[in-house]
Every structure is written in structure tokens, then in C-alpha cells.
Structure 1
Amino acid sequence: MADQVDYVVVGLGALGSSAAWHLARRGHSVVGLERFALGHDRGASHDTSRILRHSYHTPAYVELTLEAYADWADLEGASGESLVTTTGGLDLFPVDAAIPPGDYTASMDAVDVDYEAMDGADVERRWPAFRLDDDVLALWQPDAAIVPAARGTAAMQAQAVRHGADLRPQQRVVGLTEVDGGVEVTTPDATIRAGGVVVTADAWANDVLGHLGVHVPLVTTWEQVTYFAPDDPVRFSPGELPLWIWMDDPSYYGFPTYGEPTVKAAQDCGGPPVDPESRVGDDPVDELMRARLHRFLGDLLPGSGAPVRSRRCLYTLTPDRDFVLSPVPGHERVVVGLGAAHSFKFAPTFGRLLADVVTTGSSATDLTAYRMDRPALTDPDHAVTWLV
């Protein structure tokens, strides 16, 4: 006999844990299914730190960040945990950068977000750890912050459970079908009927959606972050060093020390395509990726030290690097959330919006740009661009 609940959430990384929390806090009965253990390190919601920032390339994205800051504050209030560490952030554009700085300044201007433009010499005077050419354009955004990845996800899971959600690890979905008035989800251990389903399975989204004959054009890459040990960690601590993003191709990003005396950095979209199912056992370090990052960091932040450890994670990328927050066309009781490998900052918000869509069919926030029937996801010849 099938279990009967209001909603099922498939995939309990950051977005799914948030959706389960928001649905349960509204009084709905919720089952959350996770293919692996809760808090596992096979996806994209583990490890320590992620960037929360207002600076983005379109006004719509900047407006979304306003909601993100409010929803992180909501999660802090609900959980009683301090989750947002404000450090300020720099977007660094070399001459002829592949990412146009005008898109960022125009978008922040349109939404009245404060920022300051400066050159490389200005940056070095304010934050002596940097070494930059004078003609680098830097956009300083004082509200940029660090949010914790694994701990933030766990906080949303704890809130979901507090409100009555049933979170079930080690439950792979082996069936997803529409039935009269709802959807039926099958795992090796149970059959669950629900009024709607939220699929936030990221690299495994097509494994779930394939039961409906649905396929999203996704590429999964195997990324790597590395931690470096400076001789003088104080020079790289919050207050002495902000968050930073190198806005070119290749693009890099990094953090001040956070929770330990190391500096974390990585290349954005620098890893090879990978089948997520092929990742078994310990993840080997990619020495070429680490050496390339070490050289770049040595030039940008002299004294940042030698690498002490690296961690691997998955990026699940749409062709246009935009999100998916959408009902499945023709299967509107199934709603998909995909973060395109830059969504952790939006996790508390996206869970709320996905809860809106699965319960009411719409949201007060305009999600048209993130529909599954947009050209980037339906036109096989659509240009692929991952720089944001």
C-alpha cells in the first residue's frame, strides 16, 4: 500500500532541503528522499564556504539576491544559528575581460545596490595582500558575505524535520509516474503518493525525470577547490582580505580565512565532464588543476602559501548557466529546481519559490527566465556559455 503525503522532495542537497523546510513549515506533510546519506560529499552542497553577493550580470539576478539576503536572515532566525559572515567582496576585471563589467555596474545601478569602482592600485592600498595591475577594474561590494555549505544545508534539514518532514536517506527513486490527482514516487523500499513532487536531484535530475520521458540538456563537470596555508594567516583574514572573483576566462574565486587559518580558492568551470555515477571511493586530486590554481594565486595573492588539501565537487550546468525553477511541461505536478552551479547563495530563497510553484503553480517572483521550455533547454543548437 502506498504512503500518502502532500509533497515529495527528491534530492536533499541545499535546494531540496530548503524546499522540504518551506513546505513543512507551511503545514504540509512532506517526505524528502536522498539517493545517498544526508550531508554526503558526492554532489555540490558539502564542504565549508560559499559566496553570497549582490553583484550579478542582470537586474533580475540582483533583485533575486535581495530576496536571498532576507531568506538567509529568516533561516538564521528560525535556526538560532549565525550563518552569514560579512567580509565584502571584489569583482576583478582585467583589461578586455571576457565578462563585461558594464553588465554588472548597470545591473546594480538598476536595483540601487551600493558598490564602489576602483583600480588595482586602490585595491592594493586598501588590501595589501593583493598584487594587481593598475588597469584592473575592481568593483567593491561591501555586503558580500560567506555562507556555510554543509552547515547551512544541515540547518535547513533540521528545520524541515522540526516542522514534521520525513527525510529518508539512501533512497534512490526507481519510479515516477502520474496518477489520478497526483504523482507516485517509487523507491526500493516504498511507494509514495503525493499531490506534487519537487525534483532537486542536480547531477541525477535526468535519472529521476527520465521516468517521465523528460531529459534536460545538462553537463556535469568535476570541479576542485584547494586550501592554501599562508605563513601569516592574519594578512588573509576577514577584514584584511575580502572575497574576490577574477572575472575573466578562466575565472577564479577565493575567500579569506574562514574557520581555520587557510585560504580557499578554485577555478570556476575548470574541471572535466564526468558521469556522476563513476565517482566511487576517494576523489583523486587533479594535480594539473591544482598547479594552475597555485600559479594564479601566487601572482594575485603573494604569500598565500602552499596547497594543503583539495576537495572535489560536481557542477551541474545548463547551457546558458541560468537556473531551472519550473514545472515540467506536460507534467505540471512535478517541479524542477536546478542551480546551474551558482545557486547556494539562493538556497533558502529557491526552496521557498519551489514550494510556491508546487503548491500554487506560480510565485510572486517572476520565474519566466528559469522555465524548462526556454530556448536554451529546447534548442539543441543553442550556444553554450558558462561565464557569469
Structure 2
Amino acid sequence: MITVPRSPDLRHVVVGCGGLGAAAAYWLARAVGGRALVLERDTLGGDGQDPARVLRYAQHRDADAALAREAYATWRDVERVSGQTLVTETGGLIIEDAGPRRSLGERAAVADRHDVDFELLDARAVARRWPQFRLAGTEEALYQRRTGVVDAARADATHVALARGHGAEIREHSPVRALRPTAGHVEVVLDDEVIRAERVVVAAGAGTNEVLDGLVDPLPLTVRREQVTSFATPNLLDFSPARFPVFTWHGTDTVHGFPVDGEVVTKLGHEAATDARRRHEFLSAHVPGFLGPERHTRTRLATVPADQHHVVDTLPGEPRVSVGVGARDAFTFASLIGRILAELATTGASRRPIGSFALDRPALAAAA
């Protein structure tokens, strides 16, 4: 382990300013003020992705479930200090319409272990409570009332604004080409400058391996591509957040439905290969009132570890560099993971249970 004396002339650098990076920027700036420097290779908020993300209280893994309460509390803290509304709780359904329902049983078991309230519903109970659905009668569902929607674009912008308010410097169009640890600091290499950093947080998404080249074996990362199609439904009251939940439907295709929140449209998340005909067939059969004139389809990209689990850790042998990569339902934990990364950068450790998110975990090595 390398021990580095603290120096007031060294910066704390965050590489990447997406969901995790923007959150890390805020929580780090709260701790070190103007010594925080954030380097984003592109334009802030310029990816054009759809901002709606599912916020889940009932998780399918124990490691995530152990952090869910604090993840929600962290979002509320950010809302409190910013005066912004980032989270809308709508309740959430996970519906399965065929085959073995192992995911519902597994999620229910995890919820039980972590004292999360939920309901298991048959098709008649779902249709009775939410008549917007048209069901065949063989479906089963899990309902959790605290599920909702977080506006990712608004959350990122809020984290960035709060970071600047605490004195952080945020630079756009500043790709990091390499990190070079030395005895007294970490050199952050840009195209036309080398920055001396006391600690570095890497939250670079698809660019993670490029930034970490030479410091660690390449991480097995995959880019997931989903599209979100918006419909100008005329049935605004029926699909308002107070009357209609976020839903995930597992069947021939897996889709995610969002009520009218923010934009005056309903939204359907689906695999990029799903064509318009199949989207309309699914909605016509199962949620007909959801439909309206199709407004736009946006692509959502997410870089995730191959074992579908977060990475939140310091580099083995180089604790001055910490790394964050989100996984499934990652935006539920975005602000909390940023907070943990800031802890690793300022204290070298976190009191939160992040052992399952280690860089050297066997499952990640096997996936590599």
C-alpha cells in the first residue's frame, strides 16, 4: 500500500461526469471544496439519452438491497439541499406472463431478508387495482410501493451545480489519456497538460479501461443498448404517477413502462432490436390506453460489468485511484455510489458494505 501525505496544492480529480461522476463530484466537493477538479471528455449533458430511470426499492440481490434504504435517503438529501425534485415515487410492478417465475421468487426472498414490504399479485388482483392493464389471466406480479422514477438528466445537472457551489472546477472536452502514479502524487495526463492529483476517482463509463490502461487488467465491461419510445397518450389522468406505476414486463420481450412524468408522454423502454410493430402489438394487447402518437425514440446506453454487478473499489496496490462502474438498476444508487467514491478518495475507506463490489471479486475475474 502506498501512503501519500496530504498536500494542499494537489487536486482531487474525478474522471467522467455522467451519473456516477457527477455524484462523486458533488460529494467530493463537499469534502474538499475548490480542490475538486472534474474532467469530462465530452459536453456535459450532451449525450441525448432519455433521462427516465427506474428507481427500485426492492432489489434482486442482497448486496444491492443492503444499500437501497440509504440510496433513497441520499436522493432525498440531494433534493433537500438543492430544492429540486428528482425522484417521483409511483409504486412499481414486475409482471411475468410465462414460464418459471424464478425472478419474482428471488426478488421476494431478498425483500423478505431486508424487511422490504411488497405484495405478490395474480392477474385478477393487478387488473382490479390498475384497470389500465389487459391481462390474459396467467400473469403474476410483484408490487412494491416505493418504486419510482428518477430524472437522470436533472439529477446529473443538480449534482454538477452543487459541486460548483462548493468550489469544484468542472472542465468539458478534457479527455484523460493516462494515469501515472508517482511516489508523491498521481499524474493525470491530458492532451496538453499533466495534472498532479492527490487522489483520482475514475467514473468514465465506456472509457474506464482506456483511463486505467497499464494499472489493472482490463475490466470485462459490456455496453447495453436500450431504446425508450414516447407516446402522446390522451389519457393523462389514467397514466399519471398517482394512478399508474412504473412497470417491468417479462414475456417474449422485456419492456419497462413509465407513467406521464416530466414530459407529457408515456414511455416504453425496450431492446434496441424491437421494431415499432412489436411495440404497438404489445401495448395494444396489454396497455392500450398507454398509446398515442409516437413522439420520439431515444437510445439509452449503459456500460456495465459483465457479471451485472457494480464496481466500487480502489485499485489493488494503488489506493489513491478509486473506480466506479454501475450495473443493473444502477441509477437507483448513483448518488450513493458517488458518495462512497468520495469517501474512498478522502479517507481511503467506506463504512458501507461494498465488499461485493470489489475489483478482484471471483465472478468478475471469471467473466473476464
Instruction: Give the TM-score of the pair, scaled to structure 1.
Output: 0.87
- Residue 25 of structure 1 aligns with an amino acid whose one-letter code is R
Q: 1:237 aligns with which of 211, 236, 240?
A: 240
Q: Match of 1:140?
A: 143
Gaps of 5+ in 2: 1-7
Match of 1:71, SS state, is helix
1:128 to 2:131 alignment: yes
> What displacement does 1:48 show?
2.9
After the TM superposition, which residues 85-164 of structure 1 pair with which residues of structure 2 at under 5 Å, given as runs?
85-97=88-100, 99-164=102-167
Q: Match of 1:9?
A: 14
Give the Cα–Cα distance (whole angstroms) in 2 for the partners of residues 183 and 380 of structure 1.
29
Q: Match of 1:258?
A: 261
> What displacement does 1:185 show?
0.3
Contact 1:9–1:20 (CA under 8 A) maintained in structure 2: yes
Give the Cα–Cα distance (whole angstroms) in 1 for the partners of residues 321 and 331 of structure 2.
22
> What displacement does 1:258 show?
1.0
User: More displaced, 195-204 or 225-234?
Assistant: 225-234
Q: Match of 1:26?
A: 31
Could you list the structure 1 runs, at least 4 aligned residues long, displaced by more than 6 angstroms after superposition: none
User: More displaced, 169-178 or 3-12?
Assistant: 3-12
Instruction: Give the TM-score of the pair, scaled to structure 2.
Output: 0.92
Give the Cα–Cα distance (whole angstroms) in 2 for the partners of residues 90 and 249 of structure 1.
17
Give the Cα–Cα distance (whole angstroms) in 1 for the partners of residues 242 and 361 of structure 2.
42
Contact 2:233–2:265 (CA under 8 A) maintained in structure 1: yes
Give the Cα–Cα distance (whole angstroms) in 2 for the partners of residues 213 and 346 of structure 1.
25
Q: Match of 1:384?
A: none
1:245-269: per-residue Cα shift (whole Å, max 9, x none)?
Answer: 12456421111011233111112xx
- Residue 24 of structure 1 aligns with an amino acid whose one-letter code is A
Q: Match of 1:291?
A: 277
- Residue 294 of structure 1 aligns with an amino acid whose one-letter code is H
Give the Cα–Cα distance (whole angstroms) in 1 for the partners of residues 135 and 188 of structure 2.
54
> What displacement does 1:85 show?
1.2
> What displacement does 1:147 show?
1.2
Contact 2:227–2:269 (CA under 8 A) maintained in structure 1: yes
Give the Cα–Cα distance (whole angstroms) in 2 for the partners of residues 239 and 58 of structure 1.
28
Q: 2:300 aligns with which of 301, 313, 317?
A: 313
Give the Cα–Cα distance (whole angstroms) in 1 for the partners of residues 109 and 307 of structure 2.
20
Sort the Cα spacing of 1:350 and 1:9 in 2 relative to 1 into closer, same or farther, 3 A: same
Give the Cα–Cα distance (whole angstroms) in 2 for the partners of residues 249 and 4 of structure 1.
57
- Residue 34 of structure 1 aligns with an amino acid whose one-letter code is E
**What is the percent sequence identity of the aligned residues?**
40
- Residue 236 of structure 2 aligns with an amino acid whose one-letter code is P
1:223 to 2:226 alignment: yes
Match of 2:32, SS state, is coil
Sort the Cα spacing of 1:33 and 1:297 in 2 relative to 1 into closer, same or farther, 3 A: same
Contact 1:97–1:248 (CA under 8 A) maintained in structure 2: no
1:185 to 2:172 alignment: no
Match of 1:210, SS state, is coil
Root mean square deviation of aligned Cα: 2.0
1:50-73: per-residue Cα shift (whole Å, max 9, x none)?
Answer: 111211112332221101110001
> What displacement does 1:303 show?
2.7
- Residue 37 of structure 1 aligns with an amino acid whose one-letter code is T
Q: Match of 2:3?
A: none
Contact 1:5–1:30 (CA under 8 A) maintained in structure 2: no
Give the Cα–Cα distance (whole angstroms) in 1 for the partners of residues 295 and 309 of structure 2.
33
Q: 1:375 aligns with which of 349, 352, 362?
A: 362
1:183-205: per-residue Cα shift (whole Å, max 9, x none)?
Answer: 11011232211111111011111
Q: Match of 1:39?
A: 45
